[in-house]
Structure 1
Amino acid sequence: MKVLHVITGLEAGGAAQQLRLLLRRLPARCEVVTLTNPGPLAEAIEADGTPVTHLGMTGTRDLSALPRLAGLIRAAGPDLVHTHLYRACVYGRIAARLAGVRAVVATEHSLGDAVIEGRRLTRSVRALYRATERLGSATVAVSDTVAARLRRWGVPGHRVHVVPNGIEAHRFAYDPAARAAVRVRLGLPPDAFVVGGAGRLVPAKRFDVLVRAITQLPGVHLLLAGDGPEREMLRRMAGQFGSGDRIHLLGARGATGGPPPDGTPGVPGIPELLSAIDVFVSPSPDEAFGLAALEALASGLHVLYGSCPAVDDLPGDQAPGARRVSPGVHELATALRELRRTGPGRLPVPPVVRRYDIDRSAAELTAVYEEALASVRRARPAAPDPRPAAPPHPGLPPGVSLPDPSPAPDPDGHTLTTR
């Protein structure tokens, strides 16, 4: 099986990281086309052995990208096209149809109730998605919550398959040596109470609420991993509240350690940062899955969150260390103050982490691929019989023909002939 993945961009975000993890495990020959922004993950994916092509799309309305994408798909000759994120889903489905590829699977990684990929949902956005969805074979939702949202949009339920995001849990295991080393490297007191957060620094993530909550907690430090348009605003906010020395904006961090994507020397990856903190906070009120919170749970951390379908879609005993908090500054500061007072400590890795193993996700996605390909094969018209039809026998009534004179096998497998 050959699969061509089309993604909007390969900047250091959850969807791109998830694609890289899946590419290592899918039992298929894969290639990747990124519409925009190859980003640091493009090199990492190529280093893993998967070719990456940058389409060079200049914007959402760059219609010249459509024939170029169709040409790339036609040249690659895949059995199936898999699109990721809204723009790639819209353009990729159309381009695949133009290229003659009927098996198309689309994953919606970041669909909230009111936003999609950090942008406000509008009627036209939903209408365009529904119109192009009909050109595909299946739609993958990363959580039951996203699946329900897609069905409310009008996507037929039988076309929606839930394949949750997955993680390599062992990479996030708590490491006391990493905890000490990171605190020394960042100049944190060994006994400091340290809060962590990670994600794109965009308005929808509400990291402004987290920063303001930390300013109300003297002596508490915040390690915030991620990059985006709000980074400078958050830095100014920390300074205005006199907390600039306690709020550390670290930029984008790699999920697997090693050199960070933005080239900043001396700063570790997400697994090491999780070992260094005491509590993880995900303040976003509208998540599609909650990948960062899941990674924190794999590190044995207490997690405070505004929205996390990865936890909420399962029974409560699957993640005892996770707690939903109202997305307000006072409520978050109060919850952090309470955890600081009780001393959170490290927790056993909860059952929810085993549910979201990346190998399991890859196997479930492979099953979706196989069903999409089978559906396309079933929809193809039967090939016509190449043998010419026998002329009617003279003297027989209309609609009556002689039996086929070709030899037929008997029950024992021998050929019967007429002498």
Structure 2
Amino acid sequence: MKVLHVITGLGIGGAEQQLRLLLPHMDRVRSSVVTLTNPGPVADALRADGVPVAHLGMRGNRDLSALPRLTRLIRRGAFDVVHTHLYRACLYGRVAARLAGVRTVVATEHSLGAAQIEGRPLSAGARALYLAGERLGTTTVAVSDTVARRLVAWGVSPSRVRVVPNGVDVPRFAFDPDARRAARRRLGLAPDAYVVGGVGRLAPGKRFGTLIRAVAALPGEPRLLLVGEGEQRERLERTARECGAADRVVWAGAVDRELPELLSAMDVFVSTSADEAFGLAIVEALAAGLPVRYVACPALDDLPPGEVPGARRIGGSVPEVTAALESVPRERFAVPAAVRRYDIAHSARRLMSLYDRLHHSAPHPVPHPTPHDDLYDGASCR
């Protein structure tokens, strides 16, 4: 079976990294990827993994010339399934797949929060456009039960929604004392320093300003290790200076391979985001054995109570986060069995089963034209 994944961009982000993590485990399908924009570090990593990646060269949200180019690419590639990821790719990808005659069109909803989608506030127009595009697909995959409920509340038919949770490579995040020492030396963190950690895009929805203020209010001058990059970097640096904590915040930037090492360097993980679709960074922190304090995490909220004793939901104000951090034990936890439910290999198997079921029940299979593999030479498809 040939599957084309269409994604808005391939910079470092949750959906992008999730796609890269999934593909090596999908050994029963031949996967290719096309990115509408920004063939960034994840595109390079996918190519290094042997996955063909094409860049469509889309110039903006209203670049309608991308639609016929994407349609031709799908038709020539003779794909059995088109799988779209992120809002813009879902809109263009579903239309192009239908125009190309593909009968099985799957979309994963990675980033639908209670009041935002992909970090942007929801609007009536965005919702109407989303629902119009959704009807062109076959199935919408929700990354959590919470997202599935949000989709149905929006107006998506429950019969069109399937839940395939995000996955984590659990062994990759196992705590490593040698990695902890090496990371702390590299970052200038003392071996005995108390290190609070946060991971995510430096964007308003992650509310890292709250975390900076909370850590600044703690006694004993603990350090804050922030892993991620984004448009709020300068504003957050200014917040740290205003709080008198500029010398206590370590900015690690956007990372990929180094993340397990950085989690090993932390003593507690905090997520101050109040609106999440899954909470992947939280699950990764639990896989590293860290105590976790979080404001919102569907991945944990969808589990039976008490299954993750190292994690605790907290309030989202600065005083509440500060109070929560004052009572965190300085110890690693065993990886909860519940975290292993989110093993990436399990998620990949569920997706492959979904492809099989949908493809074999498609009403009118489309004859496959001759593939044009030259579309995947890494160049822009113009």
Q: TM-score, normalised by structure 2?
A: 0.93
Letter in 2 for 1:208: G
Aligned residue-pair number: 363
Question: What is the CA distance between 1:64 and its match in structure 2?
Answer: 1.3
Would the aligned equivalents of 1:105 and 1:372 in 2 still touch at CA under 8 Å? no
**Which residue in the other structure is 2:378 paired with?**
none
**Which residue in the other structure is 1:17 paired with?**
17
Letter in 1 for 2:316: P
Matched residues in 2 for 1:251 and 1:372: separation? 40
Question: What is the CA distance between 1:120 and its match in structure 2?
Answer: 0.7
Question: What is the CA distance between 1:104 and its match in structure 2?
Answer: 0.3
**Which residue in the other structure is 1:266 paired with?**
none
Letter in 2 for 1:368: L
Matched residues in 2 for 1:92 and 1:43: separation? 22
Structure 1 portions without partners, runs of 5+: 258-268, 382-419
Question: What is the CA distance between 1:61 and its match in structure 2?
Answer: 1.4
Matched residues in 1 for 2:235 and 2:57: separation? 30
Matched residues in 2 for 1:184 and 1:380: separation? 60
Q: Does residue 354 in structure 1 map to residue 356 in structure 2?
A: no
Letter in 2 for 1:175: D
**Which residue in the other structure is 2:286 paired with?**
297
Matched residues in 1 for 2:122 and 2:299: separation? 22
1:314-333 correspondence to structure 2 within 5 Å? 314-333=303-322
Question: What is the CA distance between 1:344 and its match in structure 2?
Answer: 2.6
**Which residue in the other structure is 1:380 paired with?**
364
What SS does the corresponding residue of 2:114 show, helix, strand or coil? coil
Matched residues in 2 for 1:185 and 1:217: separation? 24
Would the aligned equivalents of 2:103 and 2:364 in 1 still touch at CA under 8 Å? no
Letter in 2 for 1:174: F
Letter in 2 for 1:380: H
Letter in 1 for 2:5: H
Greater mean alpha carbon deviation, residues 209-218 or residues 41-50: 209-218
**Which residue in the other structure is 1:223 paired with?**
225
Letter in 2 for 1:224: L
Question: What is the CA distance between 1:317 and its match in structure 2?
Answer: 2.3
Would the aligned equivalents of 2:85 and 2:110 in 1 still touch at CA under 8 Å? yes
What SS does the corresponding residue of 1:9 show, helix, strand or coil? coil
Q: Does residue 233 in structure 1 map to residue 235 in structure 2?
A: yes
Question: What is the CA distance between 1:375 and its match in structure 2?
Answer: 2.5
Q: TM-score, normalised by structure 1?
A: 0.85
Q: Deviations over 1:201-226 (max 9, x none)?
A: 11111111111111112411011000
**Which residue in the other structure is 1:53 paired with?**
54
Would the aligned equivalents of 1:235 and 1:249 in 2 still touch at CA under 8 Å? no
Out of 223, 236, 255, which is 1:253 matched to?
A: 255
Letter in 2 for 1:352: A
Q: Deviations over 1:378-410 (max 9, x none)?
A: x239xxxxxxxxxxxxxxxxxxxxxxxxxxxxx
What SS does the corresponding residue of 1:24 show, helix, strand or coil? helix
Question: What is the CA distance between 1:243 and its match in structure 2?
Answer: 1.0
Matched residues in 1 for 2:360 and 2:76: separation? 23
Matched residues in 2 for 1:150 and 1:100: separation? 26
Out of 341, 354, 358, which is 1:368 matched to?
A: 354
Matched residues in 1 for 2:62 and 2:115: separation? 22
What SS does the corresponding residue of 1:69 show, helix, strand or coil? helix
**Which residue in the other structure is 2:374 paired with?**
none
What SS does the corresponding residue of 2:260 show, helix, strand or coil? helix
Matched residues in 2 for 1:190 and 1:126: separation? 49
Q: Deviating runs (4+, > 3 A) in structure 1?
A: none
**Which residue in the other structure is 2:296 paired with?**
307
Structure showing greater Rg: 1
Q: Deviations over 1:90-130 (max 9, x none)?
A: 11000101111111000000100110000011111111111
- Percent of paired sites with the same residue: 62
1:163-182 correspondence to structure 2 within 5 Å? 163-182=164-183
Would the aligned equivalents of 1:231 and 1:249 in 2 still touch at CA under 8 Å? no
Letter in 2 for 1:134: R
Question: What is the CA distance between 1:84 and its match in structure 2?
Answer: 0.4
Would the aligned equivalents of 1:110 and 1:116 in 2 still touch at CA under 8 Å? yes
Letter in 2 for 1:248: V
**Which residue in the other structure is 1:32 paired with?**
33
1:200-219 correspondence to structure 2 within 5 Å? 200-218=201-219, 219=221
Would the aligned equivalents of 1:201 and 1:230 in 2 still touch at CA under 8 Å? yes
Letter in 1 for 2:287: A
**Which residue in the other structure is 1:135 paired with?**
136
**Which residue in the other structure is 1:86 paired with?**
87
Structure 2 portions without partners, runs of 5+: 366-382
Matched residues in 1 for 2:354 and 2:88: separation? 21
**Which residue in the other structure is 1:336 paired with?**
325
What SS does the corresponding residue of 1:317 show, helix, strand or coil? coil
Letter in 1 for 2:337: P
